[in-house]
Chains A and B, each alone.
Chain A
Amino acid sequence: MKPIVIRGARVIDPSDALDAVADVVIQDGMIAAVGQGLGTPDGAEVLDAAGLVVAPGFVDLHVHLREPGREDVETIETGARAAVAGGFTSVCAMPNTDPVTDNQAAVGFILAQARRAGTARVYPIGAVSLGQKGEQLTEFGELMAAGAVAVSDDGRPVATAHLMRTALEYALTFGIPVIDHCEECSLSSGGAMHEGLTATRLGIKGIPRAAEDVIVARDIALAELTGGHVHLAHTSTAGAARMVRDAKARGVRVTAEVTPHHLALTDAACEGYNTHAKMNPPLREGHDVAALREALADGTIDCIATDHAPHHYDAKEAAFDDAPFGVVGLETALGVAITDLVESGTLGLPALIQRLATRPAQVAGLPAGTLRRGAAADVVVFAPAESWVVDPTLFYSKSRNTPFAGRTLRGRVRWTLVGGKVVHRSTDRSGKRGGGT
């Protein structure tokens, strides 16, 4: 494998508290050296990165790659390709596929498809319960041995408090987090957006904040009871942020993620029955967005995860109630985060990278999120100030369901490397991509 030298960039590695202009030398798929004025190994490709930022490749704890089952909207290959286009070198695939990832063979299939695709690393998440039916626990040990890194019944909550309790207890043996989609379905049933004035005006049944908060409270109580590690998926409410902050202060093993769209948008985005703003949990109100940003900044919420959820054009081209929940996010996450968090002063760039790479890797125990010598060379190089307009027709994802279409974002990936190999260059679709300014 040809050595690579990334020269002259601002190197940010939160795992080492590093933020300096330096060179990064990559050999044999690993980080060989980070420092100033490093020499160029024989035959190395030199990436001139002056003015750019080099960081550990991003880690997304929450993606839906739809394979097996819905290969018409995404495959592991297209999803992994979209990931590296967005700077993500590791993604964790949720198990709500068809069939469900609830056995070791299903885990093996995902890993095989990801190897074949050869871009982002794909880490399967196993189901908590067989068929995600909320009844019988899956074989965590076999799922882990086959390569799963966590368990979740995402798409729906872990059905009962008893099942959550036993899952947290059983997961202690394997040291993996139980990831929960916090939704009390008896409160959210039939709802399609946040319960509030906008829903009242549009005549759409609302999903109250309490639908999330009730299960967040349950899960925190059970993590406290069992000593298990619960990771809360896609938090969306001020109440969830407050409860996680309180629980962490008491030493409960709870971690949490938030999506770029919940940090950037409110339920006002649903105006005009915009189905590209329909997701679960729903977009909330301004004070929730403010609370989530504050919680992400102070470390209450550990990381950003996209909840990348591809859907077919036809499915979203429907009346609001009839359209499915979910938006794609891998290819817009960095731009949204820089535009709405860094430029608004919520987070500095090093803190953002910590929440996109280093911290999520720690939460799931993944070998990623660092540029230390000897680590796998999973690296993103991006232009933090480059403006670009979101054009969903240029996505590598098979699906186009984004609420950010037409928005001008700043921050664009230039190169992505996985295991020392360049797997994405911003020029890959340059003819179509419209170029930066």
Chain B
Amino acid sequence: MSPAWGKDLLGLESLAAADIRLILDTAEPFKEISERAIKKVPVLRGKTIVNLFFEASTRTRISFEFAEKRLSADTVNVAASGSSVAKGETLVDTAKNLEAMRIDMVVIRHPSSGAARFLAERIESNVINAGDGKHEHPTQALLDLLTIRDHRPIEGAKVCIVGDVLHSRVARSDIWGLLKLGAEVAVCGPQSLLPMGIRDLGVQVFRRIEEAIAWADVLNVLRLQLERMEAGYIPSLREYYRVFGVTLERLECAPRELLILHPGPMNRGVEIDSRVADGPHSVILGQVTNGVAVRMAVLYLLAGGNPELAEAAKGGSER
């Protein structure tokens, strides 16, 4: 049986707070599996999962693959290059062909916003969005939430997302997840990298990083891609670091201890100072560890796993 929110995980905008809490709570017992010598439980034994990546990805793809393998699913990885997609097959045809092979789940990463939903509406299998264009990246936001929750309550937390919000699916998923769980959310960056109407989502806007740091409990520092400079959104990476970089000097002025998150991969010396990334307030590697647990939870719940049995499942007693 599918969870309450439906057969797929396409984004956090459409989830209720209770759904998000359920995923986070389910992830807790799965954290421990990755700490074992034998990192495997049989809860998805016999399930077939296709990881369909139309866009380059290292961390997210590997994280999903580990989650799937540690739950004993059979997995196939399809990358856009070198597949029928590169030969001009449409997304619909790719999906229908996969379905014809009787798969159970598809994890999709695609450069077009809405692609995961497009697929989900056309196939019976569970679809998990691993990032669609500039729309959502729900498992990233869930692992961000889990990481924050490891350190402090999310409700009432002041979280500022810093950087290229305009092009960021992580930012959108984070905003929905944080707001639903009762955090206060702000964004900070040059106006040219903030989307139109962002305030209407219930988000504050800071134009200066110093103000954001003075306000926040948590900073989520987004990756700034080199292409943004080439496309004229900002004059140079050097100036970006100077004006918006999260540096140790700036953090030292903060009135309280901040938690520093980054979805990776980092551009050291562009959006974040290495001394911050490697410093005591950084939970960036903790995010990566949590990513596997959160994805195990999502796979488990979509496969019809009973959240109350997740604790037992990790012992391998559930069939």
Tell me the A residues contacting B by CB distance below 8 Å.
195-197, 199-206, 208, 272-273, 314, 317-322
B90's partner among A204, A206, A208, A318 (CB-CB below 8 A) is A318
Name the residue of chain B whose CB is nearest to the CB of A197: B197
Whether A317 pairs with B92 at a CB distance below 8 angstroms is yes
Listed by A's residue number, 25 A-B pairs whose Cβ atoms lie within 8 Å are A195-B196, A196-B196, A196-B197, A199-B195, A199-B196, A200-B172, A200-B196, A200-B197, A202-B113, A203-B133, A203-B134, A203-B169, A203-B172, A204-B135, A206-B196, A273-B114, A318-B90, A318-B118, A319-B91, A319-B110, A319-B112, A319-B114, A319-B133, A320-B113, A321-B133
Name the residue of chain A whose CB is nearest to the CB of B173: A203
Given contacts A201-B13, A201-B201, A206-B196, contact A319 B134 (CB under 8 A): no
Whether B197 pairs with A320 at a CB distance below 8 angstroms is no
Distance (whole angstroms) from the CB of A237 to the closest CB of chain B: 14
Tell me the B residues contacting A by CB distance below 8 Å.
13, 90-92, 110-115, 117-118, 132-136, 169, 172, 195-198, 200-201
Chain A-chain B contacts (Cβ-Cβ < 8 Å), number: 68
Whether A203 pairs with B196 at a CB distance below 8 angstroms is no
B112's partner among A201, A317, A322 (CB-CB below 8 A) is A322
Chain B residues whose C-beta falls within 8 Å of the C-beta of A203 in the assembled complex? 113-114, 132-136, 169, 172
Name the residue of chain B whose CB is nearest to the CB of A204: B113
A200's partner among B115, B117, B118, B195 (CB-CB below 8 A) is B195
Given contacts A200-B195, A200-B201, A203-B172, contact A318 B91 (CB under 8 A): yes
Chain B residues whose C-beta falls within 8 Å of the C-beta of A317 in the assembled complex? 90, 92
Complex-state Cα separation, A324 to B90, whole angstroms:
14
Complex-state Cα separation, A16 to B83, whole angstroms:
66
Name the residue of chain B whose CB is nearest to the CB of A189: B231
Listed residue (B91, B112, B115, B200) with the most chain A CB atoms within 10 angstroms of its CB: B112
Complex-state Cα separation, A320 to B111, whole angstroms:
11
Name the residue of chain A whose CB is nearest to the CB of B115: A319
Complex-state Cα separation, A196 to B111, whole angstroms:
21
Distance (whole angstroms) from the CB of A206 to the closest CB of chain B: 6
Distance (whole angstroms) from the CB of B265 to the closest CB of chain A: 20
B135's partner among A195, A196, A202, A322 (CB-CB below 8 A) is A202
Given contacts A205-B134, A318-B91, A319-B91, contact A200 B198 (CB under 8 A): yes
Distance (whole angstroms) from the CB of A313 to the closest CB of chain B: 11
Chain B residues whose C-beta falls within 8 Å of the C-beta of A196 in the assembled complex? 196-197
Chain A residues whose C-beta falls within 8 Å of the C-beta of B132 in the assembled complex? 203
Listed residue (B90, B110, B114, B195) with the most chain A CB atoms within 10 angstroms of its CB: B114
Complex-state Cα separation, A201 to B133, whole angstroms:
12
Given contacts A203-B134, A203-B135, A203-B169, contact A197 B113 (CB under 8 A): no
Extra inter-chain contacts (9) besides given A203-B169, A204-B133, CB under 8 Å: A196-B197, A197-B197, A200-B172, A203-B132, A203-B172, A208-B196, A320-B113, A320-B114, A321-B113
